[in-house]
Structure 1
Amino acid sequence: MTHRWLLAQAGDEIADVQEQAQSWIDRAVDSLPRIGIAVGVLLVMWGVSVGVRHLLAYRWRRTRTPSFAAVMSRLVGWVIVGLGMLVALVVGFPSIDPVDMVAGLGIVSVAAGFAFQDILSNLLAGLLLIVRQPFISGDQIEVDDHHGTVEGITIRETSITTFDGRRVLIPNRDVYQGAVVIQTAHPAVRSELTVGCSYDDDLEVVTATALTALRSCPGVLREPPPEALLCEFGESTITLELWFWSDPHQIEVRRTQHQVVLATKAAFDRAGLSMPWPIVTLQAGPSMSRALGDAPDAAGDDDPRDRDDAGPSPSAPGGDPGQDSEVANRPS
């Protein structure tokens, strides 16, 4: 009796499983058209996103920077694909409530924000840099002791090429939160050169000669005009500062500085002006006097006993009559 009851129970469970599986199969068959439509919607939206992305990139490259065109067009494409996925889910599975889906995505986004905080901060900083455009590709900047030319701004990092040919990738968060020096933000930058002139020279002649040398350099801009200013009294020279403006790019700044050094040296030489070396004055105190007194005589390297033994050294016969000789006077 017990065996029959167990067999009946097993038969009922098997029948329930078969019924449930058949129900799932029927639902799957019924939902195949909707799934097909959802896949079609997703493919169409993906194609639309590709077309829109290329169109926006083409238009923005003509009016904005390449980095802005590449990043913003890609973001628009991702937004279109995301909307296509939502529409495809709603079409393929009508039981899904769009409101619940959006709420679930909000919860997931909060969790992802905590899990990927660094990535999202770099993403947001990159978007702000691209929209605000404090600098563009080709600008020369300085960030965290890195000097170079901007190659581009991506979603995660800013790429620069240093002046010695190395590529540096700087996270966008560091660029946005830190201090950035943009060397090419203005059409000209000022350089300074310090020259020491002698106290004996005419200072009016010195400044006029320096200004003439500055104006003769092809890399020095006429506006703003160069200036030569006497600024302080040094230990051995009077300090003269040369201010001049040039093209902001690093190579042009270095070339102009080279021209200014050559022109200033040549102008000072022609005018007879000197740039003295530092002069050091030594004051002989008691300790130095004792040190010099204890030092051996530079001219008397021989032992004094050797001089006593040698006796007087009169002029040898046949010697050079013009040669002086020291003879000791002794009583006879």
Structure 2
Amino acid sequence: MDELDEVLPPEVTATLTEQLAGWADGAVTLAPRIGVALVLLGLTALVAWMAGQVLTRLGRRTRLRRNLVDVLRLVSNTAIWLTGLLIAVTVVFPTITPGRALTTLGLGSVAIGFAFKDTFENFLAGILILLREPFRIDDTIECEGAEGRVEAITIRDTHIRQTDGQLVVVPNAQLFHNPVTVRTDQQFRRASIICGVAYGEDVDEARAVIEKAVRAVDLVRDDVRDIQVFAHAFGASSIDFEVTWWTGSLPVDIRASRDQVVAAVKRALDEAGIEIPFPYRTLTVNAPVPIRSVDGQG
């Protein structure tokens, strides 16, 4: 203090000494409260860990999806830590009541909510998707041009693996606000093709030949629902038939069954002598065309 007296005026030295003494007294007064607050935070961490373990075991027993269990653990941990922090703050600073702390927290949450609106929207949409479960892992879905197999559903986005191998990460809000087609919601799905026969052929005979050919295909599940062959329209050069059948709901099932059906129908119509028309082109030249012999004379 003698050195401070030589450098600083006595009034400044006295003020600084009083402040340091006040801080020391405040630290001594707050020390027990800080100790209690640290103990409360330790208990909060223990309670949060125990709650997570309980939710994990309940999820295994009830066979809940892992993503849903993770969301429940996140929500429970957030609620427990928020409660523990509020209690610890009120212990250290008795003038701060839980009501005031909640009011301050509410105002801060509103500001944060406006700043991270899209993030919170995706978060809430992810929770609702996991709870309602409109589609599951390994389902094939289509939404806004993104189509493929669902690999993961997180609280922010959904990972869709397209049939060409590319990964599409779709925000959950997009899946929540837009129509989603779940192509594998059922075990079987209907597929269809359009097949035309020439106008000179017998319609009833062609229908019978097509139906018999489709029924003989291995991937066609006529035990689920019957095959349907309907005369569909008058085409430019053919009577068009709409051929529908049921097969597996995976994209590869649709493609494979369509391949076999097209091949079987083509083969059956050829064997029955029924023409599948194709465009004929006739070239007409109005101007005289000079003709020369091979040797270039005439």
**Fold similarity call, TM over 0.5:** yes
Q: Residue 110 in 1 paired to residue 110 in 2?
A: yes
Amino acid at match of 1:229: F
Shift of 1:302: 4.4
Superposition deviation, residue 94 in structure 1? 2.2
| Structure 2: 5+ residue stretches without partners | 1-5
Question: What is aligned with 1:95?
Answer: 95
1:74 aligns to what SS in structure 2? Answer: helix
Q: Give the Cα–Cα distance (whole angstroms) in 2 for the partners of residues 273 and 87 of structure 1.
A: 85
**Counterpart of 2:198 in structure 1: which amino acid?**
S
- Determine helix, strand or coil for the equivalent of 1:228: strand
Number of the residue aligned with 1:244: 245
Deviation at 1:104, TM superposition (A): 0.5
Aligned equivalent of 2:77:
77
Q: 1:176: how far off? A: 1.5
Superposed, which structure 2 residues align to 1:306-325 within 5 Å? none
Alignment of 1:177-192 (within 5 A): 177-192=177-192
Q: Structure 1 stretch 57-66 or stretch 229-238: which is displaced more?
A: 57-66
Decide which moves more: 58-67 or 19-28: 58-67
List per-residue Cα deviations over 1:172-209 (Å, max 9, x = no partner).
12221222211112232211111121223222221111
- Aligned residue runs from structure 1 range 217-296, under 5 A: 217-222=217-222, 223-280=224-281, 288-289=285-286, 291=287, 294-296=288-290
SS state at 2:141 partner: strand
- Report the Cα offset of residue 232 of structure 1: 1.4
Alpha-carbon deviation of 1:228?
A: 0.9
Conserved in 1, the CA contact under 8 Å of 2:87 and 2:98?
A: no
Query: In structure 2, how many angstroms separate the alpha carbons of the residues matched to 1:73 and 1:213?
Result: 56
| One-letter amino acid of the structure 1 residue matched with residue 104 of structure 2 | G
- Mapped to 2, the partners of 1:172 and 1:227 lie a distance apart of 39
Deviation at residue 265 of structure 1 after TM alignment:
2.1
**Displacement of 1:296:** 0.8
- Rg bigger for which structure? 1
Change (3 A) 1:58 1:254: farther
Structure 1 residues 278 and 54: CA distance shift in structure 2, 3 A = farther
TM-score, scaled relative to structure 1: 0.80
Answer with 59-68 or 130-139: which moved more.
59-68
Whether 2:75 is the aligned partner of 1:67: answer no
Q: Give, in whole Å, the separation in 2 of the partners of 1:35 and 1:99.
A: 21
Correspondence for 1:27? 26
> Which secondary structure does the structure 1 equivalent of 2:160 belong to?
strand
State the 1:78 CA deviation.
1.7
C-alpha root-mean-square deviation of aligned residues, in Å? 2.3
Shift of 1:133: 1.8
In structure 1, give the amino acid aligned to 2:55: L
- Residue matched to 1:51: 50
Compared with structure 1, are the counterparts of its residues 298 and 195 closer, same or farther at alpha carbon in structure 2 (3 Å cutoff)?
farther
Report whether the alignment pairs 1:167 with 2:167. yes
Name the aligned partner's letter for residue 289 of structure 2.
A
Superposed CA deviations along residues 94-152 of structure 1, whole A, max 9, x for unmatched, are 23221111111111111111111221221122222222222121111112211111122
Name the counterpart of 2:3.
none
The CA distance in 2 between the partners of 1:194 and 1:147, in whole Å, is: 24
Unaligned runs of 5+ in 1: 1-6, 305-332
Count how many residue pairs are aligned between Structure 1 and Structure 2. Answer: 291
